Structure 1
Amino acid sequence: MTLQIQPNEFQVTEKFTQYVQIDTQSDANSKSFPSTEKQKDLGRLLVQQLLEYGIDDAYMDEHGYVFATLASNTTKKVPVICFCAHMDTSPDCSGKNVKPLIHYNYQGEDIVLPDDKTQILTQKDHPDLAKQLGNDIITASGTTLLGADNKAGVAEIMDAVRLLLKHPEIKHGDIRILFTPDEEVGRGVEKLDMSKLGADFGYTVDGETLGSIENETFSADGARITIQGNSIHPGFAKGKMINALKVASELIAKLPKDRLSPETTEGKEGFIHPVSMSGTVEQATIDFIIRDFDDKLLQQHVEELKNIAQSVIDQFPTCTYDIEVKQQYRNMKNILKDYPEVTDIGIEAMERLNIQPILRSIRGGTDGSRLSFMGLPCPNIFAGEHAFHGKQEWVSIQDMQKAVLTIMMIAKIWEEKSN
C-alpha cells in the first residue's frame, strides 16, 4: 500500500532551494554553542514556517535546537517518533551566497558548474548519477558547497509534516521534529535536553543514496598530541634546539602508510587520521581523529598512536609530549541491535514505496550515533545528498520527494503496528 500524494503536492524543492541560500556554516574552532550564530537564522525561519502550518509548540531554544510536535491523529497508543536533521553545513567549503541550480531531465551528460567551469560532475566521479536519468539534479554554481548535507533532510522533514497535515487520512502518532546545530563539528547534540525532546525512537534523515538505511556507524575518538620542544636563537642552536614542529612532522611521517589511513581503507577498516597541525619551535600540536566500527580495535588504534608518539619522542631526550584522548561517539549498532523494529520499520516503509532498501554501515557518524546512546534509538535514512562538503555536492528532486514519502510511511507504519 502506497501513499496517495500527487507530484504537484510536493514543496520540498522550493523549501530546499530557500534553505541552502541561508549561510549556516559551523566552525570547529569556535568555543560558543552553537559555534556560529548564523545557524539560528535558519532555525528562526523553520520555527516561523512550522507556526504557519499550525504547529503551535514550535520554538528554538537558547542553544539553537528547533523543537516541534505534529500531534497524533489516531486513538491508538503509538510510540513517539522523532525525525531529526541538522541545520549547519561543513566548515570544509564555503556555504555563503549559495546559488542553487536545477538541471532538468538529466540524460547522462557532464554537468559543468557555471561559476567555476573546472567543476564538472561526471558519472565517472559520481557513479550514482547513472541512476538519475530523467531526473532533475540540483547543484550549486561552482564556488560553494550546495548544503544538501543536511538541508535536504531539513526540507524533507518539513514537507512531510506539511503533507501529513494536509492528508489527515494518513494516521500517525505524535511526531517530534528536531533540527540541530553543529553536527558537522561533532557537537550536534552536546547541549540537547532529552526531556525536552520526549521521543521513544528516532530517525535522522541524513543519508546518501536512495534507499539507504544505516544502523551502524564508526566509533570515534579524538586525540590531541602536544609536543614541547626547546627554542633558542637559531644562531646559537647547535646541540640545543629541539624544533617541536620538526618533531611533529617526524611523528606524522611515522604513521602507517599502507593501512590505518582514510586513503588506504574502506568498508569496516578503521584509521588514525591527522586533521591539523599548528605551533612554533617551542610547542606544536597535532589533532587526530581515530575511527573503527569495533570498540576494541578503536582502542588498539589509540594505543598504536601512543606507541608511535613515544618512539619519536625517545629520539629527542629533552623533548616532552602529552596526549589527550576524548571519546566523540560510539557505534550506534551497539544500541540498535536491541531495538530491531526501528530499522525494520524503516526498511518496510521503503519496500511499500517500491524503493529498494540498502541496509549498510556508514563510515562516519550522525547525530543518531549519540542520540542512540542518549536513550533515543535512531538509525539514519537517505536524504538523497551526494558528494558532501564540496563544490560538486548534488541531490535529485525525485530522490528528495521519495524521502518525504518515506518519512510519511514510517509514521504510518508505526501507527498501524500499535494498539
Structure 2
Amino acid sequence: MHTISSLNFTVTERFLRYVKIDTQSDPESPASPSTEKQKNLGRLLVDELKQMGIGDAHLDQYGCVYATIPANTDKDVPVICFCSHMDTSPDCSGANVKPIIHENYDGEDIVLPDDHTQIIKLNEHPDLRNQLGNDVITASGTTLLGADNKAGVAEIMDACYQLVNHPEIKHGIVKILFTPDEEIGRGVDNVDVKKLGAYACYTVDGESAGNLENETFSADGAKLTINGISAHPGFAKDKMESAIKIACEIVARLPKDLSPEDTDGKQGFIHPVNISGQVETAVIDFIIRDFDEKKLHQHAEVLKNVVSAVLQSYPASAYSLKISPQYRNMKSVLDDHPEIVQYGLEAIKRAGMQPKLCSIRGGTDGSRLSFMGLPTPNIFAGEHAFHSKHEWVSVQDMQKAVQTILHLCIVWENPPAQF
C-alpha cells in the first residue's frame, strides 16, 4: 500500500489557481447560477478532470460540475460522493485575490501587505497556535481569500488526481460534485441526486483539521410586511402610523437572549437581516435558527407574539408574516446511517489526527442534500475566518484533508471489523 502521507500533493498549486478566479455569488440575482462567472471555475475544473482521464466530467447549465471515478476493486462497494462549492461570499470582495504563502509560521500577528490595518491577530485566531512551523496562506488585505470553499475544491481535485495516479489505492465508484451559490443558500437547488446515484456524500467545507460535523442548525426564514398609515407630516397628528417606526419597535422588542450576538453552542436565535421601507410600508427579513426543530417553532411563535403585541398599539395598521422553511438539522438523517459518520471519523484518525465530532452553527449543502436522500456530513477543509479579509488556511491542513478523503475511499472499500 502506497503511504498516503508521502504523496506528491498538488493541492496548494490548485488552490492558488482557483482563488484567483472571481466566483462571488449574488443573492439579488434570480438566475441559476446567480452569476455567470462561477462557471469560469467550473469549466477549468472540468478541463483539469478530463486531463486526469476522468472522461465524464461536465458542467451543466446550472453551474454544477459532475464527475465519476470508476471503481478499481471487485468488491461491491457503496457509491460515495465528495462535494464542495465554487462560489465565494457576497459579504466581501472576491475579485483580484492575491494569495500569499507565509512560510514556516512563527506565531506572530500577520500584517496583510495591501492594507496594513488588516492584521490577523493570534489572540483573535487561536487556531493559529496549531500552525507553528506550517505554511499559512492569506489574501493581501483587500479581499477575502476564498478558502471557503476553494480549499475544499482543491482538496477534492487533488484527491481525484491521486486516485487516478495511484491504482494501489483501492476504492469503489467515487462521484464528484461541485456546486454554485452555496453562500446564498441555493447550492443544491438544481443538483440531480439520481444522476449522482450515491449512497453517502461528504461535503469538504469545515474549519479546523480533524473536525467532522454531523449536525447543523434547522433554519427558517421569515418575511414581515407592515402596512402603516401615511399622512402629510405637517397634518399627521392622530393619523400617521409609520411602518418604519413600527418596524423599529418590533426589532427593539425582540428578546436579547435570542440574538446571535448573545448566543452560542446549541442556543438558537431570531435575527433581522434586512429592513427596508417608507412610512406606508416596511419589510423586515428575519432568519430563525435552532438545532432543535421544536425550539425553532417556539422561536417563530416568539416573533409572532412580539409583532402582534406591537401592532396592537397601531389599530389602523396591518401586517403579514410569512415563515418559510430553509433547511433542517442533518443529524436526524445521519443518525439512521451511523456508518457514514463513523467511517469519516476513522478516515481522519488514519490521516494522523484526533477526530472531533462537532455541530455547526450554520448550514451546508449537506443539510439539504441529506433531506434530498443523500446523507451528507461535513469534513474539515482547514478554512478559517470565512467571509472576511482575514480568511486563512494552511498548506499542511489542506494536505491532511486530501489524505482524509483518500482514507475515506479506502475505509468504504474495506470497512473495519468493528463497524
Smaller-chain TM-score bracket: over 0.9
Counterpart of 1:368 in 2: which secondary structure? helix
Describe the superposition over 1:36-90 as per-residue Cα deviations: whole angstroms up to 9, x where unpaired: 1111111111111111111110001111110000111111111000000001111
Letter in 1 for 2:33: P
1:53 maps to: 52
Which residue in the other structure is 1:384 paired with? 382
SS at match of 1:47: helix
Secondary structure (helix, strand or coil) at the match of 1:360 reads: strand
Amino acid at match of 1:6: S
Q: After TM superposition, which residue ranges in structure 1, 4 or more long, deviate above 6 angstroms?
A: none
> Aligned with 1:67: secondary structure?
strand
CA distance in 1, matches of 2:280, 2:101: 52
Q: What residue in structure 1 maps to residue 178 of structure 2? A: 179
How far the C-alpha of 1:5 sits from its partner, in A, is: 4.5
Structure 1 residue 106 and structure 2 residue 105: aligned?
Answer: yes
Cα distance in 2 for partners of 1:69, 1:4 equals: 21
- Following the alignment from structure 1 to structure 2, what is the Cα–Cα distance between the partners of residues 236 and 197? 65
Matches of 2:415 and 2:134, distance apart in 1 = 34
Matches within 5 A, 1:238-277: 238-257=237-256, 259-277=257-275
Deviation, 1:418, is 9.7
Deviations 1:232-289 (A, max 9, x none): 22222222112111111111000112x1111111110000011110111111111111
Task: Report which stretch shifted further, 206-215 or 353-362.
Answer: 353-362
1: CA distance between counterparts of 2:416 and 2:74?
10
> 8 Å contact 1:12–1:401 — kept in the other structure?
yes
Q: Which amino acid letter does the alignment assign opposite residue 182 of structure 1?
A: D
RMSD: 1.3
Equivalent residue letter for 1:307: N
Q: 1:312-332 deviations in whole A, cap 9, x for unaligned? A: 111111111111111000000
> Partner of 1:325: helix, strand, or coil?
strand
Distance 1:311 1:354, change over 3 A: same
Larger displacement relative to structure 2 (350-359 or 379-388): 350-359
C-alpha distance in structure 2 between counterparts of 1:311 and 1:53, whole Å: 63
Asked if the contact 2:220/2:325 (under 8 Å) is kept, the reply is yes
The residue number in structure 2 matching 1:36 is 35
Worse-matched range after superposition: 204-213 or 24-33: 24-33
Describe the SS at the equivalent of 2:84. strand
User: Would the aligned equivalents of 2:350 and 2:404 in 1 still touch at CA under 8 Å?
Assistant: no
Q: Residue in 1 aligned with 2:20?
A: 21
Secondary structure of residue in 2 paired with 1:17? helix
Of the structure 1 ranges 236-245 and 359-368, higher mean CA displacement relative to structure 2 is found in 236-245
Structure 2 letter corresponding to 1:308:
V
1:120 alignment partner in structure 2: 119
Q: Is the 8 A contact 2:5 2:351 kept in 1?
A: no
1:205 counterpart SS class: strand
Q: Residue 198 of structure 1: CA displacement?
A: 1.2
Q: Deviations over 1:106-150 (max 9, x none)?
A: 010110001111111111100000000000000001111111000
Q: 3-state SS of the aligned residue for 1:275?
A: strand
Partner residue of 1:224? 223
Q: 1:335 aligns with which of 333, 336, 346?
A: 333
Amino acid at match of 1:296: K
Q: Tell me the equivalent position of 1:161.
A: 160
Confirm whether residue 291 of structure 1 aligns to residue 289 of structure 2.
Answer: yes
Identical residues among aligned pairs (%): 65
Shift of residue 33, structure 1, vs aligned partner: 1.2
Equivalent in 266, 278, 288 of residue 280 of structure 1: 278
Distance apart, 1:31 and its partner CA: 1.3
Aligned residue for 2:151, secondary structure, equals helix
**In 2: Cα distance, 1:147 partner to 1:2 partner:** 32
Q: In the alignment, does 2:64 pair up with 1:65?
A: yes
- Give the residue type in structure 1 aligned to 2:163: L
Partner Cα separation in structure 1 for residue 375 and residue 3 of structure 2: 26
Partner residue in 1 for 2:150: 151
CA distance in structure 1 between the aligned counterparts of 2:112 and 2:4, rounded to whole angstroms: 36
3-state SS in 2 of match to 1:412: helix
Which position in structure 2 is the counterpart of 1:6? Answer: 6
Q: Structure 1 4/418 Cα, relative in aligned 2: closer, same or farther at 3 Å?
A: closer
SS of match in other structure, 2:4:
coil
Which residue of 1 is the match for residue 85 of structure 2? 86
Letter in 1 for 2:69: L
CA drift at 1:2: 8.1
